[in-house]
Amino acid sequence: MVTQKGGHLFLFREGENKMSIITQMVLPFSAGIAGNWYHTLTKGNTVDVNGLLKDSSSKLCPIIHWNAIWHHRIATEIATQIFDGVRVQEDLVQKYRKKYLRMFSTLPLKSNKSFSYYVGACSLDAITKNYDKTNLERLHSITEKLVGDGCFVEGTHYSIYCTDTIGRAFSLLDQFYGQDEVWILIKETIGLLTHWQRLVSNSDGVVASIGDSWYEKVEPTDEEGIFRFVDMTVHRKNDWVVVQNHRQSRFALHEHPHLDEVLIAYKDKWIVQGSGMPSYKQVMANPLKWRRPRNHFISEGVYDIPWLWRLRKKYELNRTVAVHEKTVRIIESGYKTIRWPVDDGIRYIATSSKIEWVNNGCKFICSGDIDGIEEDFAYQSVRYREDKKVRVVRIQGKNLQTSIEPCL
């Protein structure tokens, strides 16, 4: 454990301090290099932490950086490794903490980036025994904004990023902050988040693709019931998990146009899956492909245009979900055009009042006053850096009802 000697802070020489700031501004590690360092650090005793801090602590702490998440994770990892028994010179850690606290946290924008920054700051505070309540209070403010009632505003992937980040340092932080009332509130909010993650996962623990996300798993749950959040209602009954979106929260990074989309899992399969993203690099390379609102299985509207879809969030959403033992029913109100996925190579059977098809092992039957049927497509992430083009059926009509049941 690192401690301060006699309660005195280590002082920089003036010239060294100026060079440190210049390096932090101009020559920090890129996101790629920082990511490599982080993943190497997590593999065990393969990195000389003393040598890394002695030679590169300024490069680990960019004052301004477009995406410093790995720099944040390195700070948390180093502090936690010291807590776990790795011996590091005290003065090196104190210098590193001082440089880290110069970094721009991205506040006032509260996001996964500012969250991981303040987990790193609190971890360095804890390991050097600097009880800076400001860092803890800011972490609490960010956590409250992102998590709210449990439903993470940036989606499932970035929720897992945040719980992994704070989970790594939990023992260190819990020992240091103990019964601090702000720390207790943070723990309670993170508890709500991990519960929500499990609620939106199928029987194998694969979470729904909400926001910028891809295939990821959490600890599954067999909890049943109807769970209401500001942005969604989660129905869990027998083998069904149904995520009924009704997005109301204000702007958030990594948010998708889920609007009134209904995501459906049966047992260990997602039958209707969100679009997600294969990787941020691929999204930036082709934003119109991945920011397309009609990648989602929403009821269509005139604002289904990248970025403009946010104007739809203020309107009342008219979809009702009923989950029974063997069937899920989606009931529409009024005249709409709705979208559902269809298996490749499957022919749908259609009349003026009903259309039937199959997708991912389940039979879909849509009935009502049907005026038109067309085919379309959607893009979906699969696993990290993998995606696919999905066949879609568009159904236009009044008072439509869609039932979904397993084929066998």
CA distance 85 to 68: 26
Q: Which helix (H) or strand (E) holds 81?
A: helix 69-83
Please name the residues in contact with 115: beta carbons below 8 A apart, sequence gap of 6 or more.
139, 142, 143, 146, 162, 165, 166
Same domain for 326 and 346, yes or no, is yes
Residue with token string 């506040």? 107
- Burial class, 344, CB count within 10 angstroms (exposed 0-12 / middle 13-18 / buried 19+): exposed
Tokens representing residue 217 in the block: 């798993």
In a domain, 322, yes or no: yes
Same domain for 133 and 218, yes or no, is no
Nearest to 12 by CA among 99, 142, 110: 99
In a domain, 1, yes or no: no
In a domain, 330, yes or no: yes
Alpha helix positions (H), 148-298: 156-168, 170-177, 181-199, 280-285, 287-290
Count of residues for the chain?
408
CA distance 390 to 394: 13
Same domain for 118 and 247, yes or no, is no
In a domain, 329, yes or no: yes
User: Which of 198, 227, 261 is the endpoint of a domain?
Assistant: 198
Same domain for 214 and 353, yes or no, is yes
CA distance 50 to 190: 32
Same domain for 247 and 372, yes or no, is yes
Which pLDDT value is given to residue 7?
Answer: 35
Which pLDDT value is given to residue 6?
Answer: 36
Radius of gyration over alpha carbons of the chain, in Å?
24
User: Which of 198, 226, 246 is the endpoint of a domain?
Assistant: 198
Residue type, 368: G
Nearest to 168 by CA among 61, 81, 60, 69: 81
In a domain, 126, yes or no: yes
In a domain, 6, yes or no: no
Same domain for 285 and 186, yes or no, is no
Buried b (16+ CB within 10 A) or exposed e, 76-113: bbbbbbbbeeeebebbbbbbbbbbbbebebbeeebbbb
Same domain for 239 and 121, yes or no, is no
Which pLDDT value is given to residue 10?
Answer: 37
Can you state the percent helix, strand and coil of the chain, rounding each to 5?
A: 35, 25, 40
CA distance 328 to 160: 28
Nearest to 43 by CA among 88, 81, 2: 81
Summarize pLDDT for 40-54 with one digit per residue, the tens. 999 977 899 999 999
Same domain for 144 and 262, yes or no, is no
Same domain for 172 and 229, yes or no, is no
- Cβ neighbours around 388 below 10 Å, total: 11
In a domain, 113, yes or no: yes
User: Which of 171, 198, 225 is the endpoint of a domain?
Assistant: 198
CA distance 115 to 24: 21
Which pLDDT value is given to residue 352?
Answer: 84
Task: Domain count for the chain, please give it.
Answer: 2
CA distance 47 to 9: 26
Residue with token string 């002695």? 54
Same domain for 193 and 215, yes or no, is no
Which pLDDT value is given to residue 58?
Answer: 93
Q: Say if strands 269-272 and 319-323 run parallel, antiparallel, or are unpaired.
A: unpaired
Q: Which helix (H) or strand (E) holds 272?
A: strand 269-272
Where the chain has pLDDT below 50, the residues are 1-13
Same domain for 254 and 322, yes or no, is yes
The CATH number that applies at residue 221 is 2.70.98.70
The 3-state DSSP class for residue 239 equals coil
In a domain, 3, yes or no: no
Which range marks the domain in which residue 387 is found? 209-406
Same domain for 28 and 130, yes or no, is yes
For residues 89 and 128, is the Cβ–Cβ distance under 8 A?
Answer: no
Tokens representing residue 277 in the block: 């993203």
